[in-house]
Amino acid sequence: MGHDLHHYLDCSATTPPAEAVLAAMQRCRAEAWANPSSLHGFGLRAAEQLERQRQRLAGLLGCQAGRVLFTSGGTESIHLALLGSCRGQTSGARVLLSSVEHPASLAAADQLRRWGMVVDLLPVDRQGRLDLERLQALLAPPTALVSVIWGQSEVGSVQPLERIGALCRAAGIPLHVDGVQMLGHRPISFDALPVDLMSLTAHKIQGPKGIGALLVRDGHSLEPLQGGGGQEGGLRAGTEPVELVTGFVEAVELRQRRLLDHGGVDPSSHLRDALLQRLLLHPGLELTGVDPRQGQAHQRLPHHLSLLARSPQGQPIAGRQLVQQLWRQGFAASSGSACSSGRQTPSPVLLAMGYGAEEAQAGMRISLGPWHGERLLEELPAAMARALQPFGF
């Protein structure tokens, strides 16, 4: 029990590669395995494949091919965006982040702090939405960069990118967006967004692990973080993994097609809403983050649910324990973000949203994939009820 994909509810952590992705990578491995920088025919074939994929990705994401940098994934893209944009900033320059960023952005911001920059974490409301007034008040010198997570991995909140971008544009301050969780769940047209940098990764959308991209607005100045062979326009040295790039772009196209087939809306949202409805019938469960059923669907990732469990006495139930109980019932979910689920500490994201320390250990996340269907509507609430029994229900 529990090893069929139907039971895998942790797509915000990662996803299994799609068959079409594996097939595209297999073809590439056979035909374009050489070093794209080599001058012979083998290399030329790899270079052509790489540039074809770059063009294809740029077409899918509405940006110019020359503005796509391939990286090893979200973490590296975020570091390149933040550190590469702030090299050479004077001490005391300020960077603004939301207080619900992914640990990768917080780690990059820590490095900026060590360089002498000031890092301000902007407050969010109880649903995890950025305080735009506070942002606007700080959009003046010495602020040099703003970085926000578009779709929050742990609680699913979606920030109003157009409004944030418009404020940053008006102040002439560049904006980096962590688009890792959003890619594949909403059509992205980079050139139409008031955004200067966007970090993406392949493995959350059934692409391979170890590949991602940083989209960089024309005219935005970026310094490389590593030297070497001068690949990616000198901004990201290292022999390009053409096979992973091919798998990444295939995955983006599959998701893009799925979105287009459903009028630009991720069809998982309907299943998610119905699931939420049923799960909340249990007296021990409450939702964290935005309720998508209350006309605010665009403010929550469409495949994402985050819950907090309490005992009949109202005591928060450790998310980790509930996840273990749910796994005994055959379903794989996550307690908070995958990166911190190895240890049980209060979630900084729930703390930032105003939850208490005990409540902030009681979060759990359910994130759906395209393969999930109506079958979940009966099976998951029943499994959840059984998983909650040891806690007094």
Q: Which stretches of the chain bind ligand PLP, using CB under 6 A?
A: 73-75, 102, 104, 149, 153, 178, 180-181, 201, 203, 212, 338-339
- Residue pair 25/214 in contact by the 8 Å Cβ criterion: no
Look up residue 168 and give its amino acid.
C
CA atoms of 81 and 83, how far apart (whole Å): 6
- By CB atoms closer than 10 A (0-12, 13-18, 19+), residue 1 is exposed
Catalytic one among 11, 63, 86, 339? 339
**Min separation Cβ 211 and ligand PLP, Å:** 8
**Min separation Cβ 200 and ligand PLP, Å:** 9
Long-range Cβ contacts of 117-121 (<8 Å, 24+ apart): 117/86, 117/89, 117/91, 117/92, 117/93, 117/144, 118/92, 118/93, 118/94, 118/142, 119/94, 119/95, 120/94, 120/95, 120/96, 121/97, 121/352
Residue with the CB atom nearest ligand PLP in the bound state: 74
The count of other CB atoms within 10 Å of the CB of residue 239 is 14
Task: Kindly tell me which of 71 and 256 has the beta carbon lying closer to ligand PLP.
Answer: 71
Task: Kindly tell me which of 53 and 201 has the beta carbon lying closer to ligand PLP.
Answer: 201
**Min separation Cβ 339 and ligand PLP, Å:** 6
DSSP string over 237-257 = -S---HHHHHHHHHHHHHHHH
Task: Kindly tell me which of 202 and 384 has the beta carbon lying closer to ligand PLP.
Answer: 202
Task: Kindly tell me which of 156 and 284 has the beta carbon lying closer to ligand PLP.
Answer: 156
Asked about 168 being catalytic, the answer comes back as no
**Min separation Cβ 164 and ligand PLP, Å:** 16
**Min separation Cβ 341 and ligand PLP, Å:** 11
Task: Kindly tell me which of 77 and 329 has the beta carbon lying closer to ligand PLP.
Answer: 77
Radius of gyration of the CA atoms of the chain, in A: 21
β-strand pairing of 68-71 with 212-216: antiparallel
Active site residues: 339
